Structure 1
Amino acid sequence: MDAPDTATPGLAAALERAETAVTQLTRWCDDFPSPGVRFADLTPVFADGPGYRAVVEGLAAAGAGADIVAGVDARGFLLGGGVAMQLGCGVLAVRKAGKLPPPVYAESYSLEYGAATLEIPCDAPDLTGRRVFVIDDVLATGGTLLAAADLLTRAGADVVGVAVVLELAELGGRARFDRYPLTSLVRV
């Protein structure tokens, strides 16, 4: 799934506004954080009120029916809070290792320029059977987003979908998402 069903009233316009904002405002940084990596900085998109609103509305349409939104550290926090407000549900921060007191569920993974670990609390909130929608800013090779979805599944959640603002198609991350429906608002 590339984007949510555009037959929903007003959704097509929100997606068009999101695509325009992302296309016009994304700052591209070559060789960051390491040589050969092209970093997509969405900070200018989020700092633009209409652009941020369009992105949140587009992501919320993809997550309709979720009980809780999980935002991946750190830009996913900005998106997850907005989407949860739009959907009228709660939000959960999926944190980088070492930011939460134990006990935690943890999931380690590889990414294009190293390795990392994500964590969520073991004891609160109870995710058993909860319909969770996972959000991050950019899909590159898919390691971070897949680790977050797998972590939440292992904690008992029913991951109903994952979504990103921007997908870097040439890096092939989409191919890793055979278990979870994937939405990207913009593919480049």
Structure 2
Amino acid sequence: MPHETYARIDPSVRKRLSAAAIREFAAHGLADASLNEILIRARVGKSSFYYYFADKEDLFASMIESVYDSVEAQLPPFAFEGNTREGFWDAVEAHQLSVAAALGGERHGMDLFRALQPLRHSPSPRLAATFARIGTNLLAVIRVGRARGFVRDDVGEEILMRLVEGADAALDARVLPATENQLKAHLRLAHDTMRRLLEAKGDAA
């Protein structure tokens, strides 16, 4: 995580650094992004950078989390107060699509998250923490769905999470959407796959 003093960095410096980092990571991904280019564009010295961040990966994860903060701020947490199976799964899909719309509204947001996806196969501890945070929405779906009887309860939450994350990783390897419409289509496919994995069998209302 960023050094605790990151919160006290001058806002204008933080703005320049974030803009430069998001642009570079969105264009080149984590591995090929140039930290030197980011620091030159942001007009930040290396000594200052390493005071706030452990390394380039730490900066990358922090930028992902910053964009995710903005997306989360635009959306209510997932909740479902109805009592029908189709209504529940429709609400899940609507929530996923609203996330896509919010992400599409962020400058370089989709490109940045696209750069994140290949890293989910073997994330470092720093990026694993980022993926875990993003996964909180899935955990909410599982818990709300179980409470209504729409999500299977024959295996534990962690296994269900891994099943869905594994399917997502396979779909991401198949196609990495570049536009908002492609992202929506991708999310609809991911939603259908998730439902098949999670849905409880039987005649629950």
Greater fraction of residues in strand = 1
Greater fraction of residues in helix = 2
TM-score for the superposition, normalised by structure 1: 0.28
TM-score for the superposition, normalised by structure 2: 0.26
Higher relative contact order (CA 8 A, sep 6+): 2
